[in-house]
């Protein structure tokens, strides 16, 4: 987490407490609802925060498997998603960041870990660096309670003896690919993730996670996590899956291959990138970003780091089309703009129009040429399927909504 005291957390998404979390079971799936709120703490350059995360992920991924010493920031200064998770018996409740870009689950950054009758010290150490934050300590196994009706009997848990960069939270609930844990815990190759154990202990029928977000500016914005698949009531099309990319470094994360077109012109030929809940914007390679800026006529706002356009330019804005596995996923003009109700929260002008497409910070051809972040995921339902090594997308009632 970026350490500046003036950082802004927008859309701080918190699951309800362990005792009160809405829980729904159906056909080997478990669904938990969460709510969204705005928690503004000051202005920050949104694009710079995302870009720092992206470059650190690229650097770490280019070295192959995670070593425990070189990784990336698990959250940025704009968007954070947290779950109230109980550990032990009786359980101590911790506020953990939900992250698809990392896979270790750990506690102790703020609230101390309290060993109970279910706590087992494995004798192994854990050490993970997240770019601008890090933690190290002992690795335990313990009982983990995600909701009153969803309990993992034995889960590998890092217990921090030191942690930096995690003000206001207790640690991480890692839901990325399992191999991201490689090299982070002594004496073992990998440690099972929360998703792995929900599957192996019979709570879910497949090792997959479905994520649904409502656009931030929508009234009573909310969303949900579905462990074990997807929630058919939240989608308006079948889920279409594509395999994880084999191109490094994107292949180390939830990576896919896609191309991007603005209007009728391709601005990014098919290449590899990642899907990431911890990134706020849609980041694209610098050469593609330059084409997008020229085509839209946008200018750079130095305060927010976002492109800005006039009302006349917005009226002429064309669709941005992501072609993934032969299927087109379109961001309408309205889906390409930052929620206007939140302009002042990022230090922008209340009457300005900002775009959610930003510069990745490097040209295409690097093996990680885009990140489909929250701005994309709030328009399309996503499924991260470990069992079949694939990622799926579906439309929702918000895909074409005019809400920004």
Annotated active-site residue 351? The verdict is: no
404 residues of the chain, pLDDT tens digit each = 333 322 333 343 333 333 334 566 777 788 766 544 444 444 568 888 788 878 878 877 665 444 333 333 434 445 456 778 999 999 999 988 877 888 999 999 999 999 999 999 999 999 987 655 789 999 999 999 987 678 999 999 999 999 987 877 899 989 889 988 999 999 999 999 999 999 999 999 999 999 998 887 655 556 788 999 999 999 999 999 999 999 999 999 999 999 999 999 999 999 999 998 878 899 999 999 999 999 999 999 998 999 999 999 999 999 999 999 999 999 999 999 998 888 887 889 999 999 999 999 999 999 999 999 989 999 999 999 999 999 999 999 999 999 88
Start-end ranges of CATH 2.40.70.10 in the chain? 9-210, 235-395
**The pairing of beta strand 106-107 with beta strand 92-99:** unpaired
State the pLDDT at residue 10: 37
CATH homologous superfamily of domain 9-210? Acid Proteases (2.40.70.10)
State the pLDDT at residue 12: 39
CB 208 within 8 A of CB 195: yes
- 301: tokens are 């706002």
- Among 2, 7, 12, 16, smallest CA distance to 39 is for 12
Query: 233 exposed, middle or buried (CB, 10 Å; 0-12, 13-18, 19+)?
Result: exposed
- 199: tokens are 């599957």
Annotated active-site residue 359? The verdict is: no
Kindly list the distances between the CA atom of residue 289 and the CA atoms of 93, 247, 369, in Å, as whole numbers in the listed order.
Answer: 43, 21, 11
Let me know the angle formed at the C-alpha of 90 by 188 and 150, rounded to the nearest 5 degrees: 70
Give dist(CA 323, CA 335) in Å, integer.
Answer: 16
State the pLDDT at residue 345: 78
Reported as a single tens digit per residue, the pLDDT across 95-110 is 888 778 889 999 999 9
Select which of 276, 359, 369, 385 is catalytic. Answer: 276
Reported as a single tens digit per residue, the pLDDT across 370-391 is 999 989 999 999 999 999 999 9
State the pLDDT at residue 44: 64
Cβ-count burial 308-331 (b if 16+ within 10 Å, e if not): bbeeeebeebeebbbbbbeeebbb
The string of DSSP codes covering 101-132 is: T----EE-SSSPP---TT-EEEEEEEEEE-SS
Q: 235-395 belongs to which CATH class? A: mainly beta
Kindly list the distances between the CA atom of residue 355 and the CA atoms of 29, 309, 378, in Å, as whole numbers in the listed order.
Answer: 36, 8, 15
State the pLDDT at residue 148: 67
């Amino acid at each position: 987490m970026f350490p500046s005291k003036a950082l802004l957390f927008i859309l701080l998404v918190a699951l309800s407490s362990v005792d009160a979390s809405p829980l729904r079971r159906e056909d080997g799936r478990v669904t938990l609802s969460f709510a969204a709120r705005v928690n503004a703490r000051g202005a920050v350059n949104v694009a710079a925060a995302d870009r720092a995360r992206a470059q650190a992920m690229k650097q770490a991924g280019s070295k192959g498997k995670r070593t425990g010493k070189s990784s990336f920031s698990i959250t940025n200064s704009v968007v954070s998603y947290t779950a109230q998770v109980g550990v032990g018996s009786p359980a101590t409740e911790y506020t953990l960041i939900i992250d698809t870009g990392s896979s270790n689950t750990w506690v102790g950054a703020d609230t101390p870990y309290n060993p109970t009758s279910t706590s087992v010290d494995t004798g192994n150490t854990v050490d993970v660096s997240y770019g601008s934050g890090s933690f190290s300590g002992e690795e335990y196994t313990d009982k983990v309670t995600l909701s009153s009706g969803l309990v993992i009997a034995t889960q590998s848990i890092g217990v921090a003896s030191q942690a930096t960069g995690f003000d206001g939270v207790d640690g991480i609930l890692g839901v990325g690919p399992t191999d991201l844990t490689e090299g982070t815990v002594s004496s073992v190759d990998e440690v099972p993730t929360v998703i792995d154990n929900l599957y192996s202990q019979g709570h879910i029928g497949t090792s997959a996670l479905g994520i649904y977000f409502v656009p931030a500016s929508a009234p009573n914005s909310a969303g949900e996590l579905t462990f074990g698949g997807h929630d058919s009531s939240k989608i308006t099309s079948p889920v279409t899956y594509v395999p994880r990319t084999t191109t490094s470094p994107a292949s180390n994360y939830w990576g896919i291959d896609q191309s991007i077109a603005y209007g009728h012109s391709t601005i990014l030929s098919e290449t590899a990138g990642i899907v990431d809940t911890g990134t706020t914007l849609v980041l694209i390679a610098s050469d593609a970003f330059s084409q997008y800026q020229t085509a839209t006529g946008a200018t750079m706002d130095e305060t927010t780091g976002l492109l800005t356009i006039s009302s006349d330019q917005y009226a002429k804005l064309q669709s941005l089309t992501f072609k993934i596995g032969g299927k087109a996923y379109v961001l309408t003009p309205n889906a390409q703009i930052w929620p206007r109700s939140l302009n002042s929260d990022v230090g922008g002008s209340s009457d300005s129009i900002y775009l959610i497409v930003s510069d990745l910070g490097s040209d295409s051809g690097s093996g990680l040429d885009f990140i489909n972040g929250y701005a994309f995921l709030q328009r399309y339902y996503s499924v991260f399927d470990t069992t079949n090594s694939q990622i799926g997308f579906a439309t929702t009632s918000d895909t074409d909504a005019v809400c920004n």
